[in-house]
């Protein structure tokens, strides 16, 4: 993956979101032992993780204003990611690749009788929020043909049909967006790497409620489990997938 850009005709290392959190020793080690990653494969799918109401609330609000109403909020980081997520989702749909959405299981048995049980809530507004907390937001809502995986754990792979769905379609590359970077995104990326997929995390399309956790977990994934790429890199790859599908029938016809 490219880690540099060109400014004024000169190639410069691309600044990464985690750079300011690294120590001098961290930087020296990365410079001495850079990790190239696996790169993109041939057959991708898009995995959008937990883009549900609980992390957004009903309107854009700073984290510390939203948290009393929506305890799981990611504040403005969630809302700021929406335009990037929409571009990534549009690119995946245009390329005709599988799209998978994950969300939570609202009927988890261990919620019953607790403050997270909507039937226990006395306040109607609280009850309404609890019932809607795992609804995927309209801005990136699934369409017909896209799998929605309901999960009870951090990883999208654990205890769900996701792995079988990807294997059945011959997928070798999983492009990831969603939240939280340090939680469900990381857990899904680690599991996906363990299953030998090319894991691609689109930096602008993942977010967290804690800035430092977001940055350091991206760094850690980039060092061990995934390629962390820009949105432009991901969209360029999806364009190439689209072009390959268009060219493939022509090549097949030429050999008949």
Active-site positions?
184
User: The tokens of 154 are what?
Assistant: 């951090």
The closest alpha carbon to 106, from 130, 82, 79, 73, belongs to 130
Sheet containing 227-229: which strands, arranged edge to edge? 147-151, 99-104, 44-49, 173-179, 198-207, 227-229
Q: Do residues 48 and 102 lie in contact, with contact meaning Cβ atoms separated by under 8 Å?
A: yes
Burial status of residue 213 (CB atoms within 10 A of its CB: 0-12, 13-18, 19 or more): middle
Task: Write out the E strands in the chain.
Answer: 4-7, 10-13, 44-49, 99-104, 147-151, 173-179, 198-207, 227-229
As a whole number of angstroms, the distance between CA 104 and CA 254 comes to 48
User: The tokens of 84 are what?
Assistant: 């990037």
């Amino acid at each position: 993956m490219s880690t540099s850009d060109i400014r004024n005709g000169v190639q410069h290392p691309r600044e990464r979101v985690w750079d300011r959190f690294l120590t001098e020793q961290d930087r020296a080690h990365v410079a001495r032992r850079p990790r190239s990653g696996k790169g993109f494969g041939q057959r991708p799918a898009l995995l959008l993780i937990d883009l549900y109401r609980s992390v957004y609330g009903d309107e854009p609000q700073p984290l510390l204003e939203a948290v009393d109403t929506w305890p799981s909020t990611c504040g403005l980081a969630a809302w700021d990611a929406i335009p990037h997520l929409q571009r990534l989702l549009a690119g995946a749909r245009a390329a005709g690749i599988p799209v998978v959405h994950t969300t939570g299981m609202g009927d988890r048995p261990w919620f019953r009788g607790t403050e997270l049980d909507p039937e226990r809530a006395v306040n109607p507004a609280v009850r309404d929020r609890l019932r809607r907390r795992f609804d995927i937001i309209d801005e990136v809502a699934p369409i017909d043909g896209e799998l929605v995986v309901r999960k009870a754990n951090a990883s999208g792979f654990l205890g769900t049909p996701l792995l079988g769905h990807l294997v059945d379609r011959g997928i070798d590359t999983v492009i990831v967006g969603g939240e939280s970077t340090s939680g469900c995104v990381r857990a899904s990326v680690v599991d996906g790497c363990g299953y030998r997929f090319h894991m691609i995390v689109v930096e602008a399309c993942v977010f967290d409620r804690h800035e430092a956790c977001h940055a350091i977990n991206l760094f850690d994934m980039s060092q061990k489990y995934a390629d962390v790429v820009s949105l432009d890199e991901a969209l360029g790859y999806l364009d190439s997938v689209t072009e390959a599908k268009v060219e493939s029938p022509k090549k097949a016809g030429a050999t008949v």
